[in-house]
Chains A and B, each alone.
Chain A
Amino acid sequence: MSQQFIQLVVSGLAVGAVYALVGLAFIMVNEATGVVNFATGQMVAIGCFLSVSTGIQMGLPLGPAYALALVAMALFGIVFYAVVFRPLQDRPVVTVIIGTVMIGIVIQNSALMTWGSVPFRPRSPFGRQVVDVFGAAISAHALFVIAVAFLMIGLLYGFIYRTAIGARMRAVAQDRDAARLMGISVDRMFVLTWVIAGLLTGAAGILVGPMWFADVNMGDPIALKAFAAIIIGGFSSVPGAIVGGILVGLAEMLGAAYISSAYKDGLVFLVMILFLLVRPQGIFGERIGQRA
């Protein structure tokens, strides 16, 4: 029991860390550019499949394979900025929602044509290695996922709050016009935001691959959980995305084991809807006057 419990908690934390990364990509874009990106899940899938291409199909060692996949995802972010964001910028919310959903369909089916419908099983840098944690056998990859995710979140935090470029990005997020008047190149900050979104979703895709399978349809389920995570945590809050992601990951794993594996996703959405109704600002809140 207790050994199983520790295993569940660790895998819940690992899955939750991935949701947190995806949620952060979503929040970064929404805060800086005001675009609600419904293609975020498909970006995760592309990140995962790029690591399949570099790591399995090209046969690179995993270090360079991951690096190359992340570089490709950064470029993908720039392409996304130019092709999708520019034309949809400043359109009504619903146009952006449907537009990014349609882009998600395009990406998903392009991935289907490129990589086929048979799932891949990416290998982990740690193989099937198992570590002993408090007497429970824990997969080393799960610990790797948690460590990398939190390292990335830490780096992002430092970048946003400790560097001059981060301050410019925050200025653009707070007031675009005022930032432009202060001499900040708003468009350059937008490009940077999409690059960061590409890196975050790419990392999430690379990390999640060895835990599950690399499947072209993997995007939507991950994005839906990440939505739930940021609503629970607070739509514009970085700590909120982390806490929300981990809560969703734990709820998914523990709920599947102890309540009902069939209704584990329903449980997550029930909690999300309850949060929307009772505490729409999420755990960590957000600026007043945006939601209702």
Chain B
Amino acid sequence: MIDRRLLAACAVFLLALLLPAFISGYGIRILNLALISAIAVIGLNFAFGYAGLITLAQAGFVGCGAYITAILSTTLGLSPWLSIPAAMVGAGVIAVVIGLPMLRLKGHYLALATLGFNVSFVIVATNWKSLMGGTDGISGIPALALPGWSLGTDHRYYYVVWVALAVATWCAWRIRNSHIGLAMIAVRDDEIATGAASVGVTRIKVQAFGLSAVYAGLAGALFAHMTNFVAPDDFALGHSIIYLAMLIIGGEGSILGAIAGAVIVTFMPELMRDLGTAYLIIFGGLMLLILIFLPKGLLSLAGIVGRRLKALSR
């Protein structure tokens, strides 16, 4: 079963390489955004899906990554190939520093504390004009380029994002099956028993939180070099909620679910564009229905349908 799923995932990834040939300018930009969101949601899956930490700060960490690479590559003129890893490390370090005290909290207290971090990030980014540009943001962020070959167009950038997502997925899968991933799941399932088995619960939580921020930092940096511009609004609390919604729609605790959720939720507004302002009402209602009737996400629907079909064919 696992092997078949792995094969299917690889096939989807390889087929996705052909997509730019069929999609025009605007569609490929949305697709890039979807894959970038998928990286952030895979990260969130460590904190929420595996370790069970309810965090509403993911957009804040995406913002940390975006601003770090923006500042390093404009003001300091660093190459994006160096500033992107710096953004990942920076976001991770910030998460560990605030996570060490904050992760003692649980449930909705942790949700509110992380919410406070995300709101504070936007307030700082809006008001620290000299470093972060205030509401005008930071513009003129350089596009990525290989020697003698620009990656500035959306079609070329797609392959950058594709490679990043593939590597991120592979790493996440390896971590999931390592002792670190298993420890995270153990913390989620029974914190007291895990602590009693001499696993450092706080250390595991901080690792999960830091790892989710490293992924967020990568997503933010890729976003900054795609749009060449960052502003506080892109990293507001609402986006943290959307990331969490993506993970839940796809199916928490599943890497492929995280990717599927990110793609579905990113394209949903495009599919429902005719609805105009009513779109968000439908979106909110749909999300609520999924939460109530499919608590394990849309991917679980595939499993349910599959089992039904098997039962029928017998």
Contact = CB atoms under 8 A, between A and B. Distances in A.
Interface residues of A, number: 41
A93 interface: yes
Contact of A291 (B106, B126, B283): B106
Contacts of B278: 109, 113
A72 interface: no
Contact of B248 (A98, A272, A273, A291): A98
B54 A94 contact: yes
B288 A103 contact: yes
B267 interface: no
Interface in A244-281: 262-263, 265-266, 269-270, 272-273, 276-277, 280
A227 interface: yes
Nearest to B241: A101
B287 interface: yes
Q: Is the interface of A mostly helix, strand, loop or mixed?
A: helix
A106 interface: yes
B284 A109 contact: yes
A88 interface: yes
Given A224-B119, A269-B116, A276-B113, A98 B281 contact: no
Contacts of A270: 120
Contacts of A165: none
Given A99-B288, A263-B127, A292 B105 contact: yes
Given A94-B48, A105-B283, A265-B123, A87 B113 contact: no
Contact of A276 (B112, B124, B292): B112
A36 B111 CA distance: 11
A87 B289 CA distance: 10
Given A112-B277, A269-B116, A273-B117, A106 B284 contact: yes
Contacts of A224: 115, 119
Contacts of B109: 231, 235, 276, 280, 291-292
A88 B244 CA distance: 17
Residues of B contacting A: mostly: helix
B174 interface: no
Nearest to A260: B127
Residue from B117, B119, B285, B288 having most chain A Cβ neighbours under 10 A = B288
A115 to B, nearest CB: 12
Interface string A182-215: 0000000000000000000000000000000000
A228 interface: yes
B44 to A, nearest CB: 12
B41 to A, nearest CB: 14
Interface string A209-229: 000000000001000100110
B245 interface: yes
Contact of A109 (B102, B106, B116, B280): B280
A95 interface: yes
B25 interface: no
A116 to B, nearest CB: 10
Nearest to B113: A276
Nearest to B248: A98
Contact of A93 (B54, B127, B281, B288): B54
Contacts of B284: 102-106, 109
A110 B281 contact: yes
Of B116, B241, B285, chain A has the most CB atoms within 10 Å of the CB of: B116
A91 interface: yes
A266 B54 CA distance: 22
12 contacts: A87-B292, A93-B54, A93-B107, A94-B248, A102-B284, A102-B291, A105-B283, A106-B281, A113-B277, A262-B127, A273-B113, A291-B109
Interface of A: 36, 84, 87-88, 91, 93-95, 97-99, 101-106, 108-110, 112-113, 220, 224, 227-228, 231, 235, 262-263, 265-266, 269-270, 272-273, 276-277, 280, 291-292
Interface of B: 48, 54, 101-102, 104-109, 111-113, 115-117, 119-120, 123-124, 126-127, 237, 241, 244-245, 248, 277-278, 280-281, 283-285, 287-288, 291-292, 295
The 8 closest A-B pairs by CB, nearest first: A106-B284, A105-B284, A109-B280, A266-B123, A262-B127, A102-B284, A269-B116, A102-B287
Given A98-B287, A106-B281, A266-B127, 14 more contacts: A88-B292, A94-B248, A98-B245, A98-B291, A101-B241, A108-B280, A109-B281, A112-B277, A113-B281, A262-B126, A276-B105, A276-B116, A280-B105, A292-B105
